[in-house]
Amino acid sequence: MQSISILGSTGSIGVSTLDVVARHPDRYRVHALSAHARVAELAQQCERFRPQVAVVGSATAAAELEALLRAKDIATDVAYGPEALCAIASAEGCDMVMAAIVGAAGLASTLAAAKAGKKILLANKEALVISGQLLMDAVAAHGASLLPIDSEHNAIFQCLPAGYTRSMPAHGVEKILLTASGGPFLTRDVATLNDVTVEEAVAHPKWVMGRKISVDSATMMNKGLEVIEAHWLFGAPADKIEVVIHPQSVIHSMVSYADGSVLAQLGNPDMRTPIANAMAYPERIASGVAPLDLAQIAQLSFSQPDFDRFPCLKLAYDALRAGGTLAAILNAANEVAVQAFLDRRIGFRMIDQLIQRVMSAIPNRQASDIGALLAEDVEARAHAEALISP
C-alpha cells in the first residue's frame, strides 16, 4: 500500500488522480490533500478519501474547512499556507507526491518533496521552468524520483529506453518530438486574434483544463513551457526539441532515434493515462480510459507551428537558449498577462507583447538558490503589472 499527497486536489489533475486512486483501493491511500480556496470541494474529497491532513491557502479557508469536516465528524487535520504545503509534500507518512499546483506557487512544495527523497509525479511544469537546475540537483542529491505527468512528457518517458540517463547521444536518441493540438485558434485568421474573447480562449477543442492552462494552450505558451521542461527532464538542447502540430491529440509525443526509428505513444486524450502510468511505474494498471479506436479516428495530421500565429512559443525557445533566469522571468510575466486577460484588462494579443517587454526590461542573471529565483519572479510580476496599469 502506497500513500500519496495530492497538491492541488480540486483541479483537473487532482480530480483525475483521485479517480485512479479510487480504482485501486488495495494499492493506494491518500495521505494529504490540498486546495487553495475550493473549500466545499475539498471537504467532499476529505469525506470520501479520509486523508490525515488537508491544506488550504488561508486562515479563513481553514476555519471554513474545519467547520465542514467537524460537522460530518471527519478527523482530518486542517492546516494552511505555503509551509503546510511543504510539510505534506515531505511528510514521513507520504510515499509519493502529485505536484499539481499551477504556476510558481507550486515551486517550494515540489522542492520540499525532492529534498525529502519522494517519488514526485510532476504536473507543475512551472517548477522546472523556473528552477530547472535546482530541482534536478535536489532530485539527484536526495535520491528522489521525478516522473512527468504532462501527457507529452509522459509519452516521451514511455518512448525512451529504460534507464535513460538524460544523455541523448548515450542512448542513440536523435530528437524529441513534442506534439501540440494547436489549440482553438489553429486555423483562425491571424488578423482577428486581437478580437479573441475569454470564452473563446478557454474553450479547448480536445482537453478539459483549467482557465489559465487553457489560455496558455491558445497562445501555445503551454507548449513553450513544455519545451523548457523537456530540456530539463531529458537533457535535450533546444535544437533537439521539435514541436509538431497534431490537432487530433492522439499521438501524445514521439522520440526519434539515430537508426531512423520514431517511437510514439498513442491514446485517447485523458490525463488518467499518464497519471496511472507514473503512479504504478514500472507496472501498468487500469486507468479508466477507454481504449483507442484507430479505425474511428481514420486520419492523423501534422504540421509545423507558425511563430507569427504563436509568438509565445518563440519566446520560450529564446528563454531556453539564453539560460539564466530568463525562463523564470518569462513564466512570471506570462502568469500576470494571462490573469490580466482573464480579468478582461488586456486583449489576447497583448499577452505575448507584454511578456516580450518584460523579458527585454529585466536583466538575465544567474541564480543559485530558490530565494534568488523567487526574487526574479517578484520583480518580473511587478514590472508586468506596471506595464498593464501605468
Residue 124 annotated as lining a ligand binding site: yes
138 and 7, same domain (yes or no): yes
- The answer as to whether 280 is a domain residue is no
Residue 119 annotated as lining a ligand binding site: no
Report the alpha-carbon distance of residue 240 to residue 178 in Å, rounded: 11
DSSP annotation string for 124-138: -HHHHHHHHHHHHHH
87 and 189, same domain (yes or no): no
Confirm if 378 and 222 have CB atoms less than 8 A apart: no
Residue 256 annotated as lining a ligand binding site: no
Tell me what pLDDT residue 350 has: 96
**35, three cell numbers:** 486546495
Residue 58 annotated as lining a ligand binding site: no
143 and 78, same domain (yes or no): yes
Residue 194 annotated as lining a ligand binding site: no
Residue 74 annotated as lining a ligand binding site: no
| Domain limit, last residue, from 95, 121, 148 | 148
- The answer as to whether 275 is a domain residue is no
- Give the CA distances from residue 22 to residues 29, 41, 72, 89, 270, in Å, rounded to whole numbers and listed in that order: 9, 16, 21, 21, 16
CATH of the domain at 341: 1.10.1740.10
CATH of the domain at 64: 3.40.50.720
- The answer as to whether 349 is a domain residue is yes
169 and 316, same domain (yes or no): yes
Tell me what pLDDT residue 374 has: 86
Report the alpha-carbon distance of residue 95 to residue 88 in Å, rounded: 11
Residue 252 annotated as lining a ligand binding site: no
Residue 126 annotated as lining a ligand binding site: yes
- The answer as to whether 209 is a domain residue is yes
- The answer as to whether 207 is a domain residue is yes
Give strand ranges (E) for the chain: 2-7, 28-34, 53-56, 77-80, 96-99, 119-122, 145-148, 173-180, 241-245, 251-257, 262-266
Q: Between the CA atoms of 275, 266, 132 and 18, what dihedral angle is there, to the nearest 10 degrees? A: -10
Sheet holding 96-99, edge to edge: 77-80, 53-56, 28-34, 2-7, 96-99, 119-122, 145-148
Tell me what pLDDT residue 258 has: 97
| Domain limit, last residue, from 97, 124, 148 | 148
Tell me what pLDDT residue 207 has: 67
Residue 64 annotated as lining a ligand binding site: no
| Domain limit, last residue, from 148, 171, 199 | 148
Tell me what pLDDT residue 383 has: 97
Domain that holds residue 78: 2-148
Residue 11 annotated as lining a ligand binding site: yes
Which helix (DSSP H) or strand (DSSP E) does residue 13 occupy? Answer: helix 12-23
Residue 223 annotated as lining a ligand binding site: yes
Residue 222 annotated as lining a ligand binding site: yes
Tell me what pLDDT residue 390 has: 65
110 and 206, same domain (yes or no): no
Tell me what pLDDT residue 367 has: 81
Residue 117 annotated as lining a ligand binding site: no
Residues of the chain with pLDDT under 50: none
Confirm if 322 and 328 have CB atoms less than 8 A apart: no
- The answer as to whether 66 is a domain residue is yes
Residue 379 annotated as lining a ligand binding site: no
Catalogue the long-range contacts made by 236-241 (C-beta closer than 8 Å, 24 or more residues apart).
Answer: 236/168, 236/173, 236/176, 238/317, 238/320, 238/321, 240/168, 240/174, 240/175, 240/176, 241/175, 241/176, 241/178
Write out pLDDT tens, residues 288-330: 999 999 888 888 999 999 999 999 999 999 999 999 999 999 9
Residue 66 annotated as lining a ligand binding site: no
42 and 14, same domain (yes or no): yes
Number of folded domains that form the chain: 3
Residue 10 annotated as lining a ligand binding site: yes
